[in-house]
Structure 1
């Protein structure tokens, strides 16, 4: 039973569906199939249609006909790049212990200050912390994805990237606690665990894996999880507070992924 108050946004679920299954389809996903697959997680047909229209306007979905002539949608090139970049975070098993940092240093003219706001928002959405005004920091592995994002938005000319290590004066763990809002990130991990840890335990106690149930629980877990690796930059354990819940929530997601993804694909049929 899906609790309506906990229901994810239909647009987010459609992106998650394409990320999990739709992008591997041999052609466009028919609208009728999108409606069927979203109904399984509690989204009605009008919400699917309006959400697809918004994703089309944003340039993420492209209308196309299937081989049988049915109306459908496929991912744009930009959307495929977004999903491929996201794979490296969403399905990563553990961050490297030592990798250094990437710094994004930007300067936007006052006449274009709206772009300054967009730039800050995008860097925050990519998991960067704030080291100083106009200086944002993230683990070095974020460089390529950030470059793709800024180029796509036409913001690359305002930014310089640097790679390096933190040399003090404060201990790196203390600096990290200034650069990121760690209590808020921990709360998001706990919220994921509240929603999905019991789901995993339930599946661990079962021998069967019915495709529709597997699909529903996997899609909802993936939709919750895929945002977390962008909120949480995946810092080494030595830099995080004791009892950090990130490893536990990652283990729950990967457990659900391993158990449910392929069985869910049988219900998706894409």
Structure 2
């Protein structure tokens, strides 16, 4: 989530030292109240992420070294994966004793993060071979005796596409992409209209909005298993969502360059 605190830190990273009034003005475009901005600044200062300087009655804020080190900006394209598939399935099975529950949870979370789906209890499957990465973790946690790896071919007389939704929750993923599209496609159209009508767009707003887009889309991409094209529904909605995201990011980038 693109929190108010992170918005402030990102603005200070871009602008350097910024008067509090300017911060409030920019962040008002993100529906952040003056009180919320001032409260967040106070918290950030207390945590030594920002420092303030007064000139008369007016205060300005800038990042500390700790504040600079705290900022991590996401770029969704770095999370995209290759979708080349040789038609084989890679299976991980595990039967890990309860005394190794922590290690079992780590393994399960890792498998999910790599795009594996649950075929049955303690049986996870992927069209991609991530075996080497998984084996390193299995070895690190000392659970080699409880984990097995297989490579197999699907030979049932059913359409493999009918099996996929039982392993991966594509309906849920589709809802996330639809929500992204409905939010940002309309917003982009409204922003384009403003520009066409001669309304100026603050480049700092464009900068923050670009970060917001990347943060939001990265959250969806990070839980997308990036299944091969052969396994996805026709006209899979991810493609439209990616197009909307790229178009919006390019528009914002152009706005920043114009200033």
**Into which bin does the TM-score normalised by the smaller protein fall?**
0.5 to 0.7
- Structure 2: 5+ residue runs without aligned partners? 52-61
Distance 1:248 1:200 in 2: 14
Distance 1:189 1:69 in 2: 35
Per the alignment, in what secondary structure is the counterpart of residue 98 of structure 1?
coil
Per the alignment, in what secondary structure is the counterpart of residue 66 of structure 2?
strand
| Root mean square deviation, CA, Å | 5.0
TM-score under structure 2 normalisation? Answer: 0.62
C-alpha deviations, 1:41-77, integer Å up to 9, x for none? 4363544776899xx9xxxxx9799xx994533448x
Distance 1:123 1:210 in 2: 43
Mapped pair 1:110 → 2:89: no
Instruction: Give 1:233 shift.
Output: 1.6
C-alpha contact 2:94 2:122 (8 A) present in aligned 1: yes
Size of the alignment, in residue pairs? 232
Instruction: Give 1:97 shift.
Output: 4.8
- Structure 1: 5+ residue runs without aligned partners? 1-7, 57-61
C-alpha contact 1:130 1:180 (8 A) present in aligned 2: yes
Distance 1:74 1:154 in 2: 36
Instruction: Give 1:255 shift.
Output: 1.3
C-alpha deviations, 1:168-192, integer Å up to 9, x for none? 3243322221210111111111111
Distance 2:90 2:19 in 1: 44
Q: State the partner residue of 1:88.
A: 78
Mapped pair 1:202 → 2:202: no
Q: State the partner residue of 2:252.
A: 260
C-alpha deviations, 1:209-234, integer Å up to 9, x for none? 64123123322222211111122222
Distance 1:202 1:187 in 2: 23
Q: After superposition, where does 1:213-252 map in structure 2 within 5 Å?
A: 213-252=205-244
